[in-house]
């Protein structure tokens, strides 16, 4: 089974609590506080797995929770840090926010990405001893680890994509020019998932090609199999548009080219403008002097595409196809990598999955603002920094806190309190 789109839940470990302990030792008087700090919670880390080309591993396991940090101990002993959780994904996987569809990170080049950070460990009571408070009977609790749901979407990193109607010979061509061994048979929809193959071009070099399962008319609206796999040619630098020039299934090769290109336009106009080479397959079954072949060649020339005649059955033209493809790739820009679309303001609340509600109430002349996401967010702000305060203000604005205060009747100069941080409201 091929799986290339799946939603999972991840949670980093919580930080351990600081300890409240006092030094007790024979012949040592007034040992004082010696509570150790809590350990950091484990992170959620994504890592590229070079041996995978599907998200099948997530079919039955969709929840990943890292280990919590250990609580601090007496004798100034630091709690053990929680173990990180490593989630392995195929290269080319996009990590996206399921609510907005925005890209958080593209696992296309970087080998690792920390999605959720573990909570910080709390301070033990030894940190709170002062000349006037020599016996602190309190410590700091650890903070919660980040948690969220994310959508994993696989977009293969193939440089070359073989597209075309079912049963035109895409898999046969891929098997002949690369080391791939796709299923090949004389019926439609033999290929049910994209196949990858490395095409060698000598001197240890090569390029990665993907055989995309057969498109049909209406694929962009969900017909057939093609709509499920169109995303896998999003990154391709070059498209090899394979056509059954012999018309063995009763189709017209000229109409086939136009129909597939219309589906690409409907799916993505940018993708439709990607460079193409028309690969006229099954030349072993064609009358080379026929009027139909001359009309086909003339149509391809009018479209401005390069044309290569091949026969996957006899091997004719395959070396020429590889040579032409190699030469064309050398003139094209590098493979597409997607920039993150998630802003820091988005990130501020996305890591508090299931607890994004904000509550505003009035107590006299003071407006109290509460919410679990706000409680966690406040720990990220340095209120002595002007830039950090500006970021704090942008997050409140973006996530509707200012709007809720206005609905509650806040006025210029009123006091607003968010977990012991108070400020005068200014429009």
Identify the sign of the CA torsion 364, 367, 371, 375.
negative
pLDDT classification of 239: cutoffs 50, 70, 90 = very high
- In DSSP terms, which residues pair with 151 in a beta bridge? 7, 96
The three-class DSSP label of residue 387 is helix
pLDDT value of residue 63 = 96
What is the average per-residue pLDDT within 130-136?
86
Q: Is pLDDT of 361 > 80? A: yes
Q: Is pLDDT of 197 > 90? A: no
pLDDT classification of 255: cutoffs 50, 70, 90 = very high
What is the average per-residue pLDDT within 120-139?
89
pLDDT value of residue 411 = 85
Strand 160-163 relative to strand 205-211, pairing? parallel
pLDDT value of residue 338 = 79
Burial class (CB in 10 A: 0-12, 13-18, 19+), 424: exposed
The region of weakest confidence among 44-58, 136-150, 198-212, 392-406 is 198-212
The three-class DSSP label of residue 159 is coil
pLDDT classification of 348: cutoffs 50, 70, 90 = low
For the chain, percent of residues with pLDDT exceeding 90: 34
Please compute, for residue 383, the number of CA atoms within 13 A of its CA located in the half-sphere on the CB side. 9
What does the pLDDT look like over 286-322, one tens digit per residue? Answer: 888 889 999 999 999 999 999 999 999 899 999 999 9
pLDDT classification of 364: cutoffs 50, 70, 90 = confident
Contact 15, 121 (CB under 8 A): yes
Mean pLDDT of the chain: 84
pLDDT classification of 269: cutoffs 50, 70, 90 = confident
Q: What is the Rg, in whole angstroms, of the alpha carbon atoms belonging to the chain? A: 30
Residue at token pair 């990665």: 208
Please state the separation of Cα 321 from the chain's center in Å. 33
Q: Is pLDDT of 263 > 60? A: yes
What is the average per-residue pLDDT within 405-417?
87
pLDDT value of residue 184 = 44
The region of weakest confidence among 51-65, 180-194, 340-354 is 180-194
Domains of the chain by range and CATH?
Answer: 1-154 (2.70.210.12), 160-329 (3.40.50.300), 355-424 (3.30.300.350)
Distance (Å, whole) CA 242 – CA 278: 6
Residue at token pair 């080319």: 92
The total of other beta-carbon atoms located within 10 Å of residue 54's CB is 16
What is the average per-residue pLDDT within 60-71?
95
pLDDT value of residue 168 = 87
Q: What is the pTM of this model?
A: 0.72
Residue with the larger pLDDT of the pair 360 and 398: 360
For the chain, percent of residues with pLDDT exceeding 70: 87
pLDDT value of residue 185 = 40
Residue with the larger pLDDT of the pair 232 and 366: 366
Distance (Å, whole) CA 208 – CA 11: 35
Q: Phi first, then psi: what are they for 319, rounded to 5°?
A: -65, -40
Q: Is pLDDT of 217 > 70? A: no
What does the pLDDT look like over 372-408, one tens digit per residue? Answer: 778 777 767 777 788 888 888 888 888 788 888 888 8
């Amino acid at each position: 089974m091929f799986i290339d789109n799946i939603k999972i839940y991840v949670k980093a470990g919580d930080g351990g609590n600081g300890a409240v302990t006092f030094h007790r030792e024979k012949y040592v008087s007034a040992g004082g506080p010696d509570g150790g700090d809590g350990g950091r919670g484990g992170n959620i880390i994504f890592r590229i797995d070079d041996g995978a080309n599907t998200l099948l591993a997530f079919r039955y396991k969709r929840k990943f929770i890292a280990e919590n940090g250990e609580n601090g101990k007496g004798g100034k002993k630091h709690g053990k840090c929680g173990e990180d959780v490593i989630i392995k994904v195929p290269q080319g996987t996009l990590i996206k926010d399921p609510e907005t569809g925005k890209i958080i990170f593209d696992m296309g080049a970087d080998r690792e990405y920390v999605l959720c950070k573990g909570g910080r460990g709390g301070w033990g009571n030894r940190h709170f001893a002062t000349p006037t408070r020599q016996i602190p009977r309190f410590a700091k609790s650890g903070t919660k680890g980040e948690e969220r749901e994310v959508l994993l979407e696989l977009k293969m990193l193939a440089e070359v994509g073989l597209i075309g109607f079912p049963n035109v010979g895409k898999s046969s061509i891929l098997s002949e020019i690369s080391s791939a061994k796709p299923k090949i048979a004389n019926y439609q929809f033999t290929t049910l998932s994209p196949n990858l193959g490395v095409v060698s071009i000598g001197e240890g070099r090569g390029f990665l090609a993907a055989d995309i399962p057969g498109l049909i008319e209406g694929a962009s609206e969900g017909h057939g199999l093609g709509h499920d796999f169109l995303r896998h040619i999003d990154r391709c630098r070059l498209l090899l548009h394979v056509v059954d020039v012999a018309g063995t299934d009763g189709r017209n090769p000229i109409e086939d080219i136009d129909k597939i290109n219309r589906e690409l336009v409907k799916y993505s106009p940018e993708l439709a403008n990607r460079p193409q080479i028309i690969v006229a397959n099954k030349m072993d079954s064609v009358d080379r002097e026929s009027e139909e072949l001359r009309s086909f060649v003339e149509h391809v020339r009018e479209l401005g595409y390069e044309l290569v005649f091949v026969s996957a059955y006899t091997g004719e033209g395959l070396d020429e196809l590889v040579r032409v493809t190699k030469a064309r790739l050398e003139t094209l820009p590098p493979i597409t990598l997607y920039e993150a679309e998630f802003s820091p303001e988005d990130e501020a609340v996305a890591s508090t999955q299931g607890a994004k509600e904000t509550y505003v109430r009035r107590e006299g002349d003071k407006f109290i603002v509460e919410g679990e996401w706000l409680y966690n967010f406040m720990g990220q702000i340095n209120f002595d920094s002007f830039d950090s305060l500006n970021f704090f203000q942008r997050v409140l604005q973006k996530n509707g806190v200012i709007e809720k205060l206005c609905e509650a009747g806040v006025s210029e100069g009123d006091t607003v309190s968010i977990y012991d941080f108070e400020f005068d409201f200014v429009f």
